[in-house]
């Protein structure tokens, strides 16, 4: 993620932390899959930035929560699709 996409109110260390954590999370998700990077990276970025904005600085926690938020969003979308298919 370019540093220009990270909120300017973050200090330089936090900006680097967000950038590095996003890259690690993206690499983990994309290593065995062929994912569309734009929506996945956007979800990861939103989660990491939100947590960093409330003071979280542990890269492991940021990554863990971002990955689980993405997986939760996928599960919710799959459940919604199944619900629509049953209703049709």
CA distance 57 to 51: 8
Residues 19, 3 contacting (CB under 8 angstroms):
yes
Whole-prediction pTM: 0.80
For residues 45-83, one letter each, b for 16 or more C-beta atoms within 10 angstroms of the residue's C-beta and e for the rest, the string is: bebbbebbeeebeeeeebbebbbebbeeeeeeeeeeeee
pLDDT, tens only, 17-73: 999 999 999 999 888 778 888 888 899 999 999 999 999 999 999 999 999 999 888
Nearest to 17 by CA among 68, 71, 66: 66
């Amino acid at each position: 993620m370019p540093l220009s996409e990270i909120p300017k109110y973050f200090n330089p260390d936090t900006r680097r932390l967000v950038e590095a954590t996003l890259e690690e999370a993206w690499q983990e998700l994309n290593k065995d899959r062929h994912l569309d990077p734009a929506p996945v990276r956007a979800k990861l970025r939103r989660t990491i930035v939100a947590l960093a904005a409330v003071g979280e600085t542990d890269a492991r926690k940021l990554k863990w929560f971002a990955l689980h938020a993405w997986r939760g969003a996928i599960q919710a979308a799959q459940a919604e699709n199944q619900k629509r298919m049953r209703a049709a």
